[in-house]
Copies of this chain bind each other. A is one copy, B any other.
Amino acid sequence: MTHTLVSGLEPPYYTAVFTSVRPDDPEGYGETVQRMHERVQDVPGFLGYESARTPGGIGITVAYFRDLESLTAWRDDAEHEAAKRHGREHWYERYSVHIGRVEQSYHYER
């Protein structure tokens, strides 16, 4: 769970938008998310991520990367691949991933 927004991003950068449907608290999920949270920090070009989930609804995670190379490095990380495979087998009813190149962004703060 993230409480703050990723800030200071200067276009161009890349977003991986992950949207999913899964049960509320599947076994082993929290530990895996924590492990991935730690592991992604070591990926060069990783800029941060945000995550939200409506109870009983859907979940959305957005991860930010400097370039497509850093995003691809994380996508293909062996431990991340294993976690995704486990997630497909045990947790997710469905999910989508959208890889986008960001050319414009805005930030508002009161």
Among A25-33, A34-42, A99-107, the stretch that binds chain B is: A99-107
In the assembled complex, the Cα of A44 lies from the Cα of B99 at a distance in Å of: 23
**B15 and A98: CB pair below 8 A?**
yes
Copies in the complex: 2
Query: Residues of A within 8 Å of B, CB-based: how many?
Result: 46
> A3: nearest residue on chain B (CB-CB)?
B57
Residues of B within 8 A of A52 (CB): 19, 52-54, 57-60
Assess whether A78 is interfacial by the CB under 8 Å rule.
no
Residue among A9, A14, A53, A98 having the largest count of chain B Cβ atoms under 10 Å: A98
Residues of B within 8 A of A6 (CB): 19, 96
